[in-house]
Each structure stands twice: as structure tokens, then as C-alpha cells.
Chain A
Amino acid sequence: MLELSNVTSYYGKTPIIQNISFTLEKGQCLCVLGRNGVGKTTLLQTIMGLTTSMTGSLKINGSDYSKKPTHIRSHAGLGYVPQGRRILGKFSVRENIVLGTFARDDKDNTLPSSCLKLFPYLAENLDKRAGLLSGGQQQQLAVARALATDPLVLLLDEPTEGIQPNIVEDIQNTLHHLNKDMGMTLILTEQHIKIAKQLADMFIIMDIGKAVAQGPIDQLTDELVHEHLTI
């Protein structure tokens, strides 16, 4: 489904993440862990093609997208929920979700009913200006927008960051449903070990731009957490 091999990514000429490799099969969930500033967000941006340049190989369903720009990768099946949500605040809820449909190859720009069923509040407030939503509602919108792309792989950058606890649970349940019930492939960066252990099949721990540990989630030991993740 998604294969990264020795990926190094640059801002300008400076390497930010180095030699990242992993293979993700359909329906798997990978959790990228690490302290602040170690390169988790940059890894997702690299997969989306949002950094200046990258070396190594990035394959989606066996096809190489290493040199392809962001919009082509999006059409290839990458859905993205960025850190801080980055919903378009001057758009309505409806327009934000329609934006997601532009990545679909079937040219269908109607609002996907599956997205609206997952988030009833959004379905009832389609004409509300997105900038007026609360943080949790904006996060729901960011997920709905990414799901509207009908993605093969959904990338979520700290989806629970800065969200009130009851909405965190909703988002966690939604991700669980997407991954376990619908078989959607997920990559998420996360600070909460508990959430990572509940959702992920595999993990990568990053430190100063490098993968210092990775493997199946049951190998995420307390020693690793203590060594690389506690402050």
C-alpha cells in the first residue's frame, strides 16, 4: 500500500528527517511517536510532498511517487489531516468538505454521505463558516475533509492535540471505526501513548530526525517509552 525506503527530506539544503523506511499494508495503522520537534510532522509533510525536496523512494500501491508533486500524491490516495487542522476558515463547512472531493478521480464533487454520517454536527451546519467552529469541531471537519478524498492512506498529524477530552474520545472512536471496521490504512503522529497503543499495529519512534526504534506495537516497551518519549 505505502512503502518508504531510505527517505531523507530537506528544507532548503538542510536534511530534517533522515533514512526513514517502512512498509504499510492495507488496513494497518502506524503511529509515529516522539517528543516535540523531532520530525514527526515533517515525516507526514514529506509523504505529502510538502517539503522542499526528498531523496529515497516513496511508493503507493507499487508506483513511485518520490518526484511527484503534492496534488498528484493526493490523487494517488493520500488523505491528510495536518497539525493545527488548517481548515479554510473563510469557507463554509460544505465548501471545506467539497474541497476534499477534488482529489477524487471519479470527478464526483457531491458531499460524501459517509463523511456526514460520521459527523452529525457538521451535517447539520453545512453552511456555517468553518472559522466559527470550535477546535474540536474544526478537527472533525479536517477529518471529514480528508475522508472526502476517498483515501487509500489517511495521514493524521496529532489529531487529538488541543482538543477537549470528550471530543478526543469521539475522534479516537472515529479513527478506530475507520481502521478496524472499514479497513482504512492510517498513519498518525501522537503524543499520547495510550491512544497509540489502542489504535496502532506498528510504531516508529523518532529522535532528531531519525527513526530510533520501530516495529509492531506490542514491542513498544516501557523502556523505549522512558528512553525516548518521557521528558
Chain B
Amino acid sequence: MSVHDFWTPFSLYPFLNSLFIGISLASIFFIAALGLTIIYGAMGVINMAHGEFIMLGAYTTYVFQQFLGFPFLLCLPVAFIMLAIFGLIVERGLIRTLYQRPLDTLLATWGLSLILIQTIRLIFGGEPKYVGVPGWLDFQIEANFIHLSGVRLFIIIFAVIIGAVTWFLMYKTTMGIRIRAVMQDKEMAASFGIDSNRIYSITFAYGAGLAGVAGALFGALKTLFPDMGAGYIVEAFLVVVVGGIGLVGSMFSAGILGELSSIFSYFTNDTFARFILFTLIVVFLRFRPQGLISEGATRR
């Protein structure tokens, strides 16, 4: 194998296109990680089933679209609501009994992820399913150095929208102050009338709902498998560990990881790009274990 098989020399337009693909990747990273970082930041719970929550969002979209005839746009809020309700049940039934026991929470949510994969496999089988892309998203942008599908553009726009909505909820509402107060100092929050259990329920439900929306969006991009969540959970964890706890850190982290991943892929290939990226993350965490920006009290 020669160097040229492995190394792509610099060329302006393809490189600029890779930067644009980086934005698309960043939006996917961000959407996948948002629910996870909110749950982790507010509750200290590492939800190993987050990828499977994304998978459930995708299958929810598939069911409502294929069997009930819902249009794709309507499936997005439906996936949010269904997963939020599911998240609420999981928090009340499972997570709540395991607070202050992070290892048990890790194991329990991992176990839950296996149950969810097998349940979906039993119901829908192992063969791939597809979420129909609406006609108005079935286009390609081909201009100068930009080559981008309508679905990817839609995901970029949607990432901005749910980022903005989440920012508004967290920083401009009294509920956001409550959630951030619990993130910073649970005892002090309780001393000022905040019921942290209620905040945990709301936060977990919101985080699960965001995973549902992520699943609905990713369903339009890729085929659906019962174990499709495994890929997304890795990306989500990368964003959280690099970004630190909180919305702003996740946004920056997703942007940086998406662009780096795309640039490394341009110069080498996807596999080697991942190797470089993971190595850089390990080095980065050696010097900044709390991540880029941490809004919580401490890395738990």
C-alpha cells in the first residue's frame, strides 16, 4: 500500500466540502448527545440505554408513519412525547431506587438496553426497517464545493432549533433555574423549596424525549436495526466527556468532534480518522478531565 492510497492530498473544494460534512456530523453528534448530557449533568446518571432510547425513537417514528399514516414532521413530536413518557416510567420504576449508587445505575441501564434491543427484535424482527423521507426533503444541494442531502440539511437546522429550545428552557425559565440549581448543589436547591426528585423525573423525561427526536431524525438518515443505538451511544459519550457537563460544552464539543472527524476522514479514511480522534480525546482528557466547559458542580 503506497502513501497515496492512504493519504489524500489537499485540494480546496473537496476540503471545503469536508468542512461542510463536518457540520452535518456535528449536528448528529449534538442531537445524539443532548439528552445524555442533560441527564448526566442534572442527575449524575450515566444512562447506558441512551442509544436504545434513540433506537426506540426511530422505531416509534416507523410505527406511526407506516401503520398509522402520520406524516414525518408530526412523528418528531410524537417520538418526543412517547419517549418522554417511557423515560418517566424508567426513572420512577428503576433509576429512582438507584440514586447515589452510580455503578448499579450503570449496570441497570445497560441491562435495560439489552432488554429493549431484544424486545424490539422480538416484535419487529432483525431485518432492517425504513422511515420514509417526505418528498420535500428528497433533494440534493449541489453548489460549488457543497454536496448535501435534504435530510442532512434538515438535521442541521433541527439541531439548531432543539439546541435553541433547550437553551431557552435551561437559561430563560424558572424550571431551568431549578434544574441548574440541582446540578450545582442539590442540598441548597432543596433548602430553597426545590423537590429534586421531581426535577430528576422531569429532566430524565426531557432527556429521553430528546433521544426520541434524535431517533426519529436518524431514522430518516439510516436504516433501522434493533441494535442501532450502540453506534450512537459511543458518539454521544464522546461529546459528553469532551464537552463537559452542560449544553454549551456539548455544543462546542459536537462541533469540534464533527469537524475533526470529517477533516481526518478527508485526509485519511474513516477508520484511521476514528483512531486519531480517539487518541486526541485521550490526550485531551489527560490534561482537562472535566471537559471543555462544565456547568455542573463536579465531574461525578
Contacts and interface: CB of A to CB of B under 8 A. Distances in A.
Given A95-B177, A98-B174, A99-B177, A86 B188 contact: yes
Given A82-B188, A102-B174, A88 B193 contact: no
Contacts of A188: none
Interface stretch (B130-138, B178-186, B265-273): B178-186
A80 B191 contact: yes
B191 A48 contact: yes
A41 interface: no
Contacts, number: 64
B297 to A, nearest CB: 9
Interface in B146-192: 174, 177-178, 180-181, 184-185, 187-192
B192 A102 contact: yes
Given A50-B187, A88-B188, A98 B177 contact: yes
A229 B190 CA distance: 33
A103 B190 CA distance: 9
Interface residues of B, number: 18
A104 interface: yes
A95 B192 CA distance: 12
A78 to B, nearest CB: 8
Interface string A2-41: 0000000000000000000000000000000000000000
Contacts of A98: 174, 177
B192 A82 contact: no
Contact of B193 (A89, A95, A149): A149
Interface size class of A (residues with CB under 8 A): 20 to 34
A74 B193 contact: yes
Given A98-B174, A98-B177, A88 B184 contact: yes
B192 A145 contact: yes
Interface string A102-126: 1110000100000000000000000
Nearest to A78: B191
Contact of A90 (B187, B193, B196, B295): B295
B194 interface: yes
B181 A88 contact: yes
Given A90-B295, A98-B177, A109-B174, A103 B193 contact: yes
A131 to B, nearest CB: 10
Contacts of A95: 177
Q: Which 3 A-B residue pairs are closest in the complex by CB-CB distance?
A: A103-B193, A70-B190, A102-B193
